[in-house]
């Protein structure tokens, strides 16, 4: 990308870019069928617990009404006599029966509450396990960035948002240069460290509303809502070059970049494909230029 913008306008754009308020990301959607089934089962079990609570409350109200009637019957002698004559029940037997009923009911309530607490604890554990599975399905374990699956969902949401409001939307694809040589020379642990450091730098230079993604290998994607091509220059300038220290050696890390700004009616996968095409065209052109320079006689590189 050619930088033909004056320094003053770049500073102004950087201020505008940095001050844009982060928008809230769309809610994470369960990525797999197993997680959806787990969530449905969680909802069913929670409903069963709520029903148990309602039954306990119903029994409590019933016993309270029964005890209230018994107390009134003993307080009002006339009413008590009618009860004794009509039902042939002695006062002692009635009291013993009420006490037994209260004891049984209290034991039942204790059992139900214990069972409900146990079920809630099990559901909390299952929910935590479900959240862990969802995180593992959406996050790249090496770099901590989101993975391609989440990026596609988020980009689709941003495309719809851009269609509705007319806001600019840019995708940026990045590919580390000579990453295979880094692995071959220093080993795969050094390559993993390079990826982690580059991902950390990438997260530092973007806004909270942007999304950094590891597509796989040494390929990265950045979704930049409300970002013009001029502001994209600022992101690339902030990213710059990187040196990673490995066993006392400095490993230089450079990258190639491709980008695509959203055009009305364009699909998310088309944006990524065209940004990739720009990246590889630039990478091939750079390699070809280097080969032509090396072939010039009388010069050493």
Residue 122 CA, chain-centre distance (Å), reads: 23
Mean pLDDT of 279-283: 90
**C-beta of residue 291 within 8 angstroms of C-beta of residue 274:** no
**pLDDT (tens digit, 9 = 90+) per residue, 235-274?**
899 888 899 999 999 999 999 999 999 999 899 999 999 9
Residue that is written with structure tokens 């750079």 in the block: 286
Q: Which of the 8 DSSP states describes residue 213? A: E
**pLDDT (tens digit, 9 = 90+) per residue, 12-54?**
444 444 444 333 343 334 444 455 565 566 667 666 766 766 6
Q: How far apart are CA 246 and CA 52, in angstroms?
A: 60
pLDDT band of 120, cuts 50, 70, 90: confident
Instruction: Check whether 166 has a pLDDT greater than 80.
Output: yes
Task: Tell me the DSSP string of 52-109.
Answer: HHHHHHHHHHHHHHHHHHHHHHHHSHHHHHHHHHHH---HHHHHHHHHHHHHHHHHHH
Low-confidence winner among 74-78, 111-115, 161-165, 267-271 (lowest mean pLDDT): 74-78
Residue 281 CA, chain-centre distance (Å), reads: 33
pLDDT band of 72, cuts 50, 70, 90: low
Between 34 and 171, name the one with better pLDDT: 171
Q: How far apart are CA 225 and CA 159, in angstroms?
A: 9
pLDDT band of 127, cuts 50, 70, 90: low
């Amino acid at each position: 990308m050619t930088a033909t913008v004056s320094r003053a306008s770049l500073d102004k754009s950087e201020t505008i870019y940095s001050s844009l308020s982060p928008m809230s990301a769309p809610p994470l959607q369960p990525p797999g069928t197993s997680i959806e089934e787990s969530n449905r089962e969680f909802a069913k079990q929670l409903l069963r617990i709520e029903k148990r609570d309602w039954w306990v409350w119903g029994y409590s109200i019933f016993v309270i009404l029964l005890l209230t009637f018994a107390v009134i019957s003993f307080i009002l002698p006339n009413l008590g006599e009618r009860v004794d004559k009509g039902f042939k029940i002695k006062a002692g037997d009635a009291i013993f029966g009420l006490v037994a009923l209260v004891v049984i009911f209290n034991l039942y309530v204790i059992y139900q509450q214990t069972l409900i607490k146990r079920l809630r604890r099990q559901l909390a554990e299952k929910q935590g396990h479900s959240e862990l599975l969802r995180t593992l399905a959406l996050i790249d374990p090496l770099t901590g960035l989101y993975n391609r699956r989440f990026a596609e969902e988020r980009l689709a949401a941003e495309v719809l948002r851009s269609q509705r409001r007319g806001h600019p939307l840019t995708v940026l694809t990045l590919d580390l240069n000579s990453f295979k040589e880094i692995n071959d020379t220093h080993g795969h642990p050094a390559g993993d460290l390079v990826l982690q450091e580059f991902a950390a730098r990438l997260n530092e230079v973007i806004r909270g509303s942007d999304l950094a993604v590891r597509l796989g290998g040494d390929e990265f994607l950045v979704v930049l809502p409300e970002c013009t091509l001029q502001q994209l220059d600022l992101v690339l300038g902030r990213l710059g070059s990187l040196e990673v220290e490995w066993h006392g050696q400095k490993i230089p890390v450079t990258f190639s970049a491709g980008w695509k700004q959203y055009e009305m009616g364009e699909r998310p996968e088309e944006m990524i494909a065209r940004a990739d095409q720009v990246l590889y065209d630039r990478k091939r052109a750079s390699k070809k230029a280097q080969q032509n320079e090396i072939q010039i006689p009388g010069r050493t590189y």
